[in-house]
Amino acid sequence: MTDIAKAAGCSQATVSFVLNRTAGMKLSQATRDRVIETARVLGYVAPTFPTKPNSAPRAPAMDGIIGFAVDQLATSPEAVVAIEGARQASWNAGNVILVAQTLGDPEMEPRTLRVLTTQGASALIYMAIFTREIVAPSYLYELDIPVVLLNCYTTDHHFPAVIPSEIAGGQHSTRHLIEHGHRRIATITGEPWMQAAQDRLKGYRRALATADIPFDPQLVVEGDWSASAGYKATVQLLSLEHRPTAIFCQNDRTAIGCYEALKEAGLSIPEDISVVGYDDEEIARHMHPPLTSSILPHRAMGQWAVEQLDSANDANKRFAITKLECPLVERASVAKPRG
């Protein structure tokens, strides 16, 4: 997926969603075609699996085992943080977490969930690594154990679901810059089809509107969550006749590239331009200067998911989506604008 993403000019997540035919993703046909053609040119072929996996009798349910299924485990730290939150909440009650990666594969995912239940899982946490609405597969509805959705939700509200409050997070990040006196604030987004990018941009625009700052489309540059995109976007912003005094990078990896471009241009952070990130990855506190960033609350979301399992038993109940705050961690990358 990394090879295909690099050649196709998109993120690894996009490649995963296209090749796994993930339902409910609002990707353009042009993007899908580009990814598939790139995979073909590079010689990659999709694996095949039996269309009817072997069924196995379910073992007697054992109290204290919680299944945790996530579509992508190795590509980002968020899943590990959520699992750790669930583990802490589970161990406090004497429970054990069994974790499985599914890649959202339509054949292997149901087999994986079946294994979790036959191993005695008496409840399931189902996580998507990228925040989004999902079309829940039928086998989730057919499980006779409590199911909680983490970082995703369904329109029918059949399952308890928790996601980050991304609009509020984007608004808080932008407002922080406004409170320091900035009025020409740029933002570098993620891929626009992703809900996190859409919501963080909504929060950015709401903060500007609330402060009576006119929206300038020149100050919004599309990225793909990568450091290289952050670098290119920052170079573009610096070429404007009236460059920004602050940049809201919609994740910390983008901010890494932003820092590099600013320093290459001979500009100081935050004396010349302030920078805010998002996600609060480990690297944020080690950047120079340390990066102000918002925490993605995946640990708290994992804890919340475990706490909701008892209330997830009612099949006739409809559950409101729970949104957890993304707290801003203030460090040394923001200051008042010069002059």
Q: Closest Cα partner for 225 from 237, 233, 214? A: 233
Q: What is the enclosing helix (H) or strand (E) of 156? A: none
Please give the residue that has the higher pLDDT: either 24 or 50.
Answer: 24
Of 3.30.230.70, 2.60.40.10, 3.40.50.1370, 3.40.50.2300, the CATH number of 166-295 is: 3.40.50.2300
Q: Are 263 and 333 in contact (CB under 8 A)?
A: no
Output the furthest CA–CA distance in the chain (Å, rounded).
Answer: 72
SS3 331: coil
Give 246's strand partners.
185, 274
Is the torsion defined by CA of 326, 328, 334, 335 positive or negative? positive
Q: Are 65 and 306 in contact (CB under 8 A)?
A: no
Q: Are 106 and 20 in contact (CB under 8 A)?
A: yes
pLDDT of residue 238: 98
Q: Which two tokens stand for residue 11?
A: 């993120």
- Vertex 70, ends 17 and 158: CA angle to 5°? 90
Q: Report the length, in residues, of the chain.
A: 339
Of the listed ranges 13-22, 120-129, 169-178, 235-244, the least confidently predicted one is 13-22
pLDDT of residue 45: 60
Alpha carbon of 194 to those of 8, 263, 279: distances in Å? 17, 30, 15
Asked if pLDDT for residue 154 goes beyond 90, the answer is yes
Mean per-residue pLDDT for 115-128? 91
Mean per-residue pLDDT for 190-208? 96
Which residue carries 């996190």 as its tokens? 196
| Domain ranges for the chain | 2-41, 65-164+298-324, 166-295
Fill in the DSSP letter of residue 213: P
pLDDT of residue 172: 98
Of 3.40.640.10, 3.40.50.2300, 3.40.50.300, 3.40.50.360, the CATH number of 65-164+298-324 is: 3.40.50.2300
Q: Which DSSP string do the residues of 11-79 spell out, in sequence order?
A: -HHHHHHHHTT-TT----HHHHHHHHHHHHHTT-------SSPPP-PPPPP-TTEEEEEES-SSS-SHH
- The pTM score is 0.81
pLDDT of residue 63: 55
Alpha carbon of 255 to those of 214, 221, 303: distances in Å? 24, 13, 29
Q: Closest Cα partner for 260 from 287, 292, 294, 300? A: 287
Please give the residue that has the higher pLDDT: either 124 or 93.
Answer: 124
Distance separating alpha carbons of residues 337 and 339, to the nearest angstrom: 6
Give residue-wise pLDDT tens across range 27-71.
Answer: 888 888 888 888 888 877 654 333 333 333 333 333 589 999 999
pLDDT of residue 42: 80
Asked if pLDDT for residue 25 goes beyond 80, the answer is no
Q: Which residues of 60-92 are buried (b: 16+ CB within 10 A; e: fewer)?
A: eeeeebbbbbbbbbebbebbbbbbbbbbebbee
Q: Closest Cα partner for 278 from 176, 180, 129? A: 176
Fill in the DSSP letter of residue 314: -
pLDDT of residue 55: 39
SS3 221: strand
Give residue-wise pLDDT tens across range 264-307.
Answer: 999 999 999 999 999 999 899 999 999 999 999 999 999 999 99
Q: Given this chain, do its domains 65-164+298-324 and 166-295 carry the same CATH topology? A: yes
Q: Are 207 and 165 in contact (CB under 8 A)?
A: no
